[in-house]
Amino acid sequence: MADVVYFPGLVPTTFATIETYLRTDIYARARLREADEVLGYSLVDAYRDAEVYDWEVYEAGVLALSLALADWADDNLDLDPVAFGGQSFGAIVGAVWAGVLPYPDALRLVRESTRVELDWFGSRPAPLGCFFFYRLDAVTVDGLIARARAEGHVVEGSIYLDNSVHAVSGTSTGLDRMRELVAEAGGHAFYSMNRAEHCSLVQGLRDRLAAEVYRDLRWFRSSLPMLSDVSGALLTDPDDIRDDLLDGWVTPVHWAAVSAAIRRAGADRAVVIGPRTMFGRLTQRTVPTAVLTPRSVLEHPATAFRLPAPAGAARVPAVAAASGGAR
């Protein structure tokens, strides 16, 4: 088997849905202990009281949780990874999993990036944010963006997933107008963030993060290629991966580029690791896919899990969820 291991981007996940896993799973507890030492506080307690807008806590929590799932997979699954990747923040999780960025450095990246981001966004003349929605195709979305811009609003397309899930960044007034246009077109709002991403509006932030945060961390060559969600390139050089993570701030995400990279890497199966299952259906359209979540680890005995076989191949036993799996 040739597997690609993929880590999703940040998706709102309530503490109640993952509390049992974080407090009882041995892998999660180990990752949380190390995080507590680096951050200087109890991450699980902070996550309990946090919202998605508490960037440091939320990102560090997702990082610890996702890596704990990957640790479980290391000990329980029989995979043959040929590449890894991640969407947006998931690419940072993937870099840690692949040994490109040490876990303590990733936690420092989260902490210091939050400091810079809060300062940069707080100094903007108008608030910037990002609005996620679904059930509209890319052509329609681009048309709505063009209409809002023609009306004088500042908005840019940020994320194009699966030709049905999208995100637009812009000023608060521009995003308010996009919500109206999306609703009129039959789309459904998902959630909003109080920061813009994957767009040219944050070029200044990208440059500050490069100078004040990323250059002071340790980056190592990867033994596996990383699937860039910026360009679709396959990267192993540490400087290239670091710069790709930074460029993700200013470049729209197009899932088609990731799909093409999965094919170029020669993967015939994908394992998606994270707190939610949303991304499984994206990779499923390219290769057979398993999704590993806290729920799949808690609710299914390891011996009952099976990874999907590549298309046209016989199904082979392995330890993985019917909807789950990982390295």
Specify the CATH number for the domain of residue 11: 3.40.366.10
Residues 144, 209: one domain?
no
Residues 134, 115: one domain?
no
pLDDT at 81 over 50: yes
Residue 235 to residue 322: CA distance in whole angstroms: 30
Residue 45 to residue 61: CA distance in whole angstroms: 10
Domain count, the chain: 2
- According to the model, what pLDDT value does residue 327 have? 25
Residue 323 lies in a domain: no
Residue 132 to residue 167: CA distance in whole angstroms: 4
pLDDT at 151 over 90: yes
Of the pLDDT bands very low, low, confident and very high (cuts 50, 70, 90), residue 324 is very low
Domain containing 85: what range? 3-121+203-304
Residue 46 lies in a domain: yes
Residues 272, 136: one domain?
no
- Please, where are the H alpha helices in the chain? 15-24, 26-39, 43-49, 55-76, 89-97, 103-122, 138-150, 172-184, 203-212, 238-247, 255-264, 280-284, 294-299
Of the pLDDT bands very low, low, confident and very high (cuts 50, 70, 90), residue 10 is confident
Residues 95, 239: one domain?
yes
Residues 171, 136: one domain?
yes
Chain position carrying tokens 């019917």: 322
- According to the model, what pLDDT value does residue 312 have? 52
- According to the model, what pLDDT value does residue 163 have? 77
Of the pLDDT bands very low, low, confident and very high (cuts 50, 70, 90), residue 302 is low
Structural domain ending residue among the three candidates 174, 193, 212 = 193
Residues 49, 184: one domain?
no
Residues 137, 115: one domain?
no
Q: Using one digit for the tens of pLDDT, what is the confidence trace for 181-202?
A: 999 999 999 989 999 999 999 9
Residues 222, 110: one domain?
yes
pLDDT at 305 over 90: no
Half-sphere exposure of 101 (CA within 13 A, CB side): 28
Chain position carrying tokens 């909003």: 192
- According to the model, what pLDDT value does residue 11 have? 80
Q: Using one digit for the tens of pLDDT, what is the confidence trace for 211-246?
A: 999 999 999 999 999 999 999 999 999 999 999 999
Closest by alpha carbon to 84, among 180, 139, 7? 7
Residues 94, 143: one domain?
no
- According to the model, what pLDDT value does residue 322 have? 29
pLDDT at 319 over 50: no
Residues 142, 180: one domain?
yes
- According to the model, what pLDDT value does residue 283 have? 84
Residue 37 lies in a domain: yes
pLDDT at 317 over 60: no
Secondary structure letter of residue 326 according to DSSP: -
Residues 169, 295: one domain?
no
CATH number at residue 160: 3.30.70.250
Residue 317 lies in a domain: no
Residue 160 lies in a domain: yes
Closest by alpha carbon to 34, among 5, 4, 71? 71
- Of 91-100, 277-286, 289-298, the range with the lowest mean pLDDT is 277-286
% of the chain with per-residue pLDDT over 90: 79
Of the pLDDT bands very low, low, confident and very high (cuts 50, 70, 90), residue 52 is confident
Q: What is the pTM of this model?
A: 0.91
Residue 140 lies in a domain: yes
Closest by alpha carbon to 325, among 266, 269, 282, 259? 269
Residue 155 lies in a domain: yes
Residues 138, 264: one domain?
no
Residue 321 lies in a domain: no
| CB proximity list for 152: less than 8 A, separation 6 or greater | none
Of the pLDDT bands very low, low, confident and very high (cuts 50, 70, 90), residue 310 is low
Cβ neighbours of 16 (radius 10 Å): 8
Residue at 13: amino acid letter: T
pLDDT at 92 over 60: yes
